Structure 1
Amino acid sequence: MKIEWIEDFLALIEAGTFSQGAERRHVTQPAFSRRIRQLEEWLGVELIDRHSPRLTLLPHAQAYEASLRDWLAHLYALRGRIRADAAHGPRGILTTQHTLTVSYLPRLLLYFRRHAPQARLQVKSSDRNECIRDFQRGAADLLLCSEPDGAPLFVERTNVQRVQLGTEQLVPVCAADLFGQPVFDLDSKAPLPVIGYEPNSFLGGMLSSPYWLDLQRHYDIELVCETSFTIGIRELTLSGLGIGWLPHGLIESHLLTGKLVSLAERLGGPMLMVACYRQPDVGAASVDTLWESLHDRPPKV
């Protein structure tokens, strides 16, 4: 099987006719038709309904079109990585949770670019639990994550290296009114509308007892929305729909511009640590370089 046959088939779908597909692929129509036939012979099935006056894919061809596109994209990406690794050496792989991808990672990558420009790095952004699993099974060299204050990960694995990059607070915030004041009055007897986290999420766990229980002792809480999507909580909070608890790094600019108002002075908020972990015995030169730079002067969380 030749990759060009898959390219031909996808070009045929996009063009809509054999003649236009051949033109896209810069071959004659007979040669183009022959290559479509060769793909069908290799697969052992027909892909085109040749009894139809218009180009019509058979049902199984329609069902697997997206898979063929994905396979081809992955193959080209793999080729690019192999070429880059051969030319420059293997890359380090850093996995991090979605929230840090938005709040802290851009500053960290700019720091790496300035202080370790020769080090090659690939970033994978996932749910926090998935990031930890990837790191544990060796699918990532570095793990950047948030942790409960005073409760680092992997304490039982003495060979896993760790560097703490800073702390940040889960800040209770709400939208501001025209005068820059909170749109919700904490002293009123009205229920406080809350944009909350799903209980089984990491940040949901951070807000659970004793913090949440203590809050409920003092305020009547009305749960407006519950989600593990941190960016969604920020947007709902900006819309004035309720009070949300968000990592400071994610809302720093909104606090400075006055779009959000901190309620931390009245409501407090749990503290988070941000740390980076390194797999033991990782020999890639890029990982060594990046790890050394993390011990120098990385940007503040």
Structure 2
Amino acid sequence: MELKWLEDFVMLANTASFSRAAQARNVTQSAFSRRIKQLENWLGVTLISRASLPAALTPEGRAFLPVAQETIRTFHSVRATLAASAAPRERQLTFAALHTLTVTMLPDWLTSVKAALPDLVTTLLPDRGGIEANVDALLSGDVDLFLTYAHPLVPVLLDPEQFDWLHLGEETVLPVTAPRLLPSVAQGRGLCGPEPGGLGLLDAAIEQGTAVPYLDYGLASFFGTALQQIFFEKKPFQRRNMHQNTISAELRIFALKGWGLCWLPESLIREDLEQGTLVRASADPGWDLKTEIRLYRSRNHEKRVIDELWSVAKKVGNPARSPAAHTNGRA
């Protein structure tokens, strides 16, 4: 059964004329008559008495007319409702992002993007706990975009033939500690917090050959993977793991309370450094982890709004750090 058959029938009931109804429906009279007959065959009853002029409804036709009218109204109402709900979704983008970037960069960056795309609606997929899980979200199509750190020591396993990326800025991850460690942490270890103008905690631990209390990201996180590679490349030092968490913002709290050494993004701890509640743990800049910030998308997407955002993102970059974005040459 087709909706146009019901609309033909209602039009015929209103005009009482096959020729006028066919003209109103913009079809030939023979095609119109066939469609009325198809409706009657589907219902198994005769709706129109063809023996009279003007055309008259049979008793079954009169009984079916309000049903047909209500069915047409329902279909059009449902279509309008669905179209209205689909329109915002066409302007909606779902992001996966490493947790720290949702705190340090994403709000300001999206504010700049929405200045150019005011009707954009964004959704953030909850962090799945590691870079591989977030990559999988993009691969599976659960998200439209993936915001992440990038570093040569941590390969992002996305095929460059299928995925584009933009360079949005940089982030430096610094080894820091509280000015004084908790007594229970430092006790018996020959360590105290760094003295102003003196050796940092990391430098002191390396010089003394002492294990440094360490706040660990684990190997499932981006920073944890990158730091392990750096530890192998530089002079080894002893670490005594005090606490593990994949999220920088939560490790920062433990660092502030004096639990030990932690590598934290500079943008996350800028005020802590300015206020002296956290201090650098080493005078050697070789311990700094320099990363870039990238935005990834699939090249096979079907949303026009992704292209619109991509174009805006090239101009916006990271509003806090970079005047413009750079591409991988495929955008």
Task: Compute the displacement of 1:118 (Å).
Answer: 2.6
Q: 2:119 — aligned with what?
A: 118
Aligned match of 1:187 in 180, 185, 204? 204
Query: Is the alpha carbon distance of 1:88 and 1:136 closer, same or farther for their aligned partners in structure 2, counting shifts above 3 Å?
Result: closer
Task: Compute the displacement of 1:101 (Å).
Answer: 1.1
> Percent identity between the aligned chains?
21
Task: Compute the displacement of 1:157 (Å).
Answer: 3.3
Query: Is the alpha carbon distance of 1:145 and 1:87 closer, same or farther for their aligned partners in structure 2, counting shifts above 3 Å?
Result: closer
Task: Compute the displacement of 1:98 (Å).
Answer: 1.3
The one-letter code matched in structure 1 to 2:279 is: V
Query: Is the alpha carbon distance of 1:220 and 1:82 closer, same or farther for their aligned partners in structure 2, counting shifts above 3 Å?
Result: farther
The one-letter code matched in structure 1 to 2:280 is: S
Aligned pair count reads 220
Query: Is the alpha carbon distance of 1:213 and 1:279 closer, same or farther for their aligned partners in structure 2, counting shifts above 3 Å?
Result: closer
Structure 2 unmatched ranges of 5 or more: 1-80, 181-192, 323-331
Q: 1:138 — aligned with what?
A: 141
Query: Is the alpha carbon distance of 1:87 and 1:230 closer, same or farther for their aligned partners in structure 2, counting shifts above 3 Å?
Result: closer
SS at match of 2:262: strand
Q: 1:47 — aligned with what?
A: none
Q: 1:69 — aligned with what?
A: none
Q: 1:212 — aligned with what?
A: 231
Aligned match of 1:149 in 146, 149, 152? 152
Query: Is the alpha carbon distance of 1:180 and 1:155 closer, same or farther for their aligned partners in structure 2, counting shifts above 3 Å?
Result: same
How far apart are the structure 2 equivalents of 1:252 and 1:280?
Answer: 36
1:295 maps to 2:314? yes
The one-letter code matched in structure 2 to 1:134 is: A
Q: CA RMSD in A?
A: 3.1
How far apart are the structure 2 equivalents of 1:95 and 1:133?
Answer: 10
Task: Compute the displacement of 1:153 (Å).
Answer: 3.0
Give deviations 1:221-271, integer Å, cap 9, x for gaps: 322223323222111101111010112222223223322112353261322
Q: 1:278 — aligned with what?
A: 297
Q: Is the 8 A contact 1:193 1:242 kept in 2?
A: yes
Query: Is the alpha carbon distance of 1:120 and 1:285 closer, same or farther for their aligned partners in structure 2, counting shifts above 3 Å?
Result: farther
Task: Compute the displacement of 1:124 (Å).
Answer: 1.6
Q: Is the 8 A contact 1:101 1:125 kept in 2?
A: no
Q: 1:164 — aligned with what?
A: 167
Structure 1 unmatched ranges of 5 or more: 1-79
Which 4+ stretches in 1 moved above 4 angstroms?
A: 80-84, 177-180
Q: 2:56 — aligned with what?
A: none
